[in-house]
Structure 1
Amino acid sequence: MKDKKNKDEEETSSKPSCFGFPISIFFIVVNEFCERFSYYGMRAVLVLYFRYFLHWSEDFATAIYHAFVALCYLTPILGAIIADSWLGKFKTIVYLSIVYTIGQLVISVSSIADITDINNDGHPNNPAVHIALAVVGLILIALGTGGIKPCVSAFGGDQFEEHQENQRGRFFSIFYLSINAGSLISTIITPILRGQNCGRVPQACYPLAFGVPAALMAAALMVFIGGSSLYRKSTPQGNIILKVSKCIWFALKNRFRHRSKQYPKREHFMDWATEKYDEHLIAQVKMVLRVLFLYLPLPMFWALFDQQGSRWTFQATRMNGNFGGIDIQPDQMQTANPILILILVPVVDGVVYPLIAKCNFNFT
Structure 2
Amino acid sequence: MALISSEDETSMYVLLETKGEDSVLYTKDGTVDYLNNPANKLKTGNWKACFFIVATASLERLAYYGMSSNLLLYFTGELDQHSATASRNLSNWTGACYITPLFGAFLADGYIGKYWTIASSSILYAIGMALLTLSASAYGLLSSFFSTDVFDASEAQTVMCFTSLYLVALASGGIKACISAYGADQFDDDDKTEKKVKSSFFNWYYQMMNIGTLIAHSLIVWVQDYVSWIWGFGIPTLAMTVGVVSFFSGTWFYRNHKPAGSPLTRLFQVVVASVRKRRVNVPTDALLLYEIADANSTTVRSRKLNHTSNFSFFDKAAVETPSDHAKGSVNPWTLCTVTQIEELKSVLRLLPIWVTGIVFSSVRSQMDNLFVLQGSFMDTQVGKTSFKIPPASLGTFGTLSVIFWVPVYDQIIVPLARKLTGHPNGLTQLQRIGTGHFISIFSMLSAGILEVIRLEIVKRHGYYEIKPVPISIFWQVPQFLIIGCAEVFTLVGQMEFFYEQVPGSMKSLGSALRLTTIALGNYTSSLLVSIVIKVTTEDGGPGWIPDNLNYGQLQNFFWLLAALSGVNLAIFVVVAKWHTGPLG
Shorter-chain TM-score tier: 0.7 to 0.9
Query: Normalization by structure 1: what TM-score?
Result: 0.85
- 1:243 corresponds in structure 2 to 266
Distance in structure 2 (CA, Å) of the matches to 1:126 and 1:16? 52
Q: 1:251 to 1:348 in 2, by over 3 A?
A: farther
Query: Normalization by structure 2: what TM-score?
Result: 0.55
- AA paired with 2:180? S
Pairwise CA distance, 1:83: 1.1
- 1:158 corresponds in structure 2 to 185
Alignment of 1:129-278 (within 5 A): 129-161=156-188, 162-163=190-191, 164-197=194-227, 205-251=228-274, 254=277, 256-258=278-280, 267-269=310-312, 270-275=314-319, 276-278=335-337
- The equivalent position to 1:60 in structure 2, one of 78, 85, 100, is 85
Q: 1:86 to 1:116 in 2, by over 3 A?
A: closer
- AA paired with 2:158? I
Aligned residues, how many? 344
Pairwise CA distance, 1:289: 1.7
Unpaired runs of 5+ in structure 2? 1-23, 28-37, 144-150, 286-308, 320-334, 429-584
Pairwise CA distance, 1:347: 0.9
Pairwise CA distance, 1:41: 0.9
Q: Secondary structure at the match of 1:296?
A: helix
Answering whether residue 349 of structure 2 is matched by residue 321 of structure 1, we say no
Q: Secondary structure at the match of 1:234?
A: coil
Answering whether residue 348 of structure 2 is matched by residue 289 of structure 1, we say yes
Answering whether residue 42 of structure 2 is matched by residue 42 of structure 1, we say no
- 2:131 corresponds in structure 1 to 106
The structure with higher relative contact order (CA 8 Å, sep 6+) is 1
Q: Secondary structure at the match of 1:238?
A: coil
CA contact (8 A) 2:139 2:153 kept: no
Answering whether residue 36 of structure 2 is matched by residue 14 of structure 1, we say no
Distance in structure 1 (CA, Å) of the matches to 2:39 and 2:232? 44
Q: CA RMSD in A?
A: 2.9
CA contact (8 A) 1:15 1:22 kept: no
Pairwise CA distance, 1:48: 1.2
Q: For 1:226-257, what per-residue CA distance to the aligned partner results, in whole angstroms no more than 9, with x for missing partners?
A: 11111112221111122123324433554x42
Distance in structure 1 (CA, Å) of the matches to 2:109 and 2:311? 28
Distance in structure 2 (CA, Å) of the matches to 1:7 and 1:170? 23
Pairwise CA distance, 1:297: 2.9
CA contact (8 A) 1:45 1:190 kept: no
- AA paired with 1:288? V
Unpaired runs of 5+ in structure 1? 1-5, 119-123, 198-204
Pairwise CA distance, 1:360: 4.7
Distance in structure 2 (CA, Å) of the matches to 1:267 and 1:115? 63
Q: For 1:72-94, what per-residue CA distance to the aligned partner results, in whole angstroms no more than 9, with x for missing partners?
A: 11100000111122211111111
- 1:331 corresponds in structure 2 to 392
- 1:3 corresponds in structure 2 to none
Distance in structure 1 (CA, Å) of the matches to 2:44 and 2:107? 29
Distance in structure 1 (CA, Å) of the matches to 2:416 and 2:88? 45
Q: For 1:126-179, what per-residue CA distance to the aligned partner results, in whole angstroms no more than 9, with x for missing partners?
A: 112211211111111101112211111111122222311122222221111112
Distance in structure 2 (CA, Å) of the matches to 1:13 and 1:125? 60
Q: For 1:30-68, what per-residue CA distance to the aligned partner results, in whole angstroms no more than 9, with x for missing partners?
A: 111111000011001211111111111112211211111
Q: 1:33 to 1:113 in 2, by over 3 A?
A: same
Distance in structure 2 (CA, Å) of the matches to 1:182 and 1:23? 20
- 1:121 corresponds in structure 2 to none
Answering whether residue 99 of structure 2 is matched by residue 74 of structure 1, we say yes
Higher CA-based Rg = 2
